[in-house]
Amino acid sequence: MLWYKAWLETRWRFFFLVGATALIWVLPVWSPSLSAVPASRQWVGTQLGSVLLYIFAAIYLAGAGINTQTLYAGTSGFHGSMLFTLSMPVSRRRLLFVRAGLGALLTCSVVAILAGYTLLQRPGTTTTLEGLLYLVRAIVCTMAVYALSVLLACVLDEIWQFMGACIVWAGVFLLQSRIDVVARISPLRGMSPISYPVTTAWPWSPVLASLLVAVALLYASVLVVERKEY
């Protein structure tokens, strides 16, 4: 029941992201000006749009933690069903894992679709192994973005969670262009096939850093949820 309830609360977000992905696919076909752009430049734009959608999907599908919020969360607060959910005979930890788990699965699905399309548009050939390795890298790095959004969702209302996550990752983007250490471990670079080309050696630094960050942030989310008063 918890999984089904979480699906009902996130399904339209997922369908919206799938629609946005489909728009990226058909936009070059519909636009003559884009069709005239060289394939190499089209691929740069495609991978940039895919990475931005990775980030947006991770933030958007993190939802509101274990809170059920209204459509206009910035002004109307929590939905009436939230207290019912918290009164169910289930631990807050399990509730968080179910909601965060479903959001993570949906985020991975969006990333897989976008990564597949990005690799199909890449000039030259990409082997199956290279494609799978890039998919794993993109998913792991995106999970760091997702885990931060889950933590913020446990502390802030949904609208502020979204804005806060955007500000944090905008700051990371600026730092990675100026500080070499941040550039080596940044999830934002790790999920890009241009920063670390698909055909190069496996970039361990951003993958391991993203995995550690995701685990640490998820653990922090559990601590917050178990101690927070609703």
Rounded to two decimals, the pTM is: 0.84
Q: Tens digit of pLDDT per residue, the chain (230 long)? A: 778 877 877 788 888 888 877 777 666 555 555 555 555 566 666 777 788 889 999 998 886 556 655 444 444 455 445 555 656 667 778 888 888 888 899 999 999 988 888 887 776 777 788 888 899 999 999 999 999 999 988 888 777 888 899 999 999 999 988 898 988 899 998 888 888 888 778 889 999 999 999 999 999 998 988 887 66
| Dist. CA 189–CA 8, nearest whole Å | 33
Determine if residue 126 is left, alpha or beta; phi over 0 gives left, psi from -120 to 50 gives alpha, anything else beta: beta
The pair of structure tokens assigned to 171 is 């700051």
Q: 225 with 93: CB under 8 angstroms? A: yes
DSSP of 151-212: HHHTTS-HHHHHHHHHHHHHHHHHHHTT-HHHHHH-HHHHT-TTTS-TTS---HHHHHHHHH
> In this structure, what DSSP letter does residue 79 have?
-
- What pLDDT is stored for residue 85 in this prediction? 60
Contacts of 119 by beta carbon, 8 Å cutoff, 6+ apart: 126, 131, 134, 193, 198
- What pLDDT is stored for residue 77 in this prediction? 53
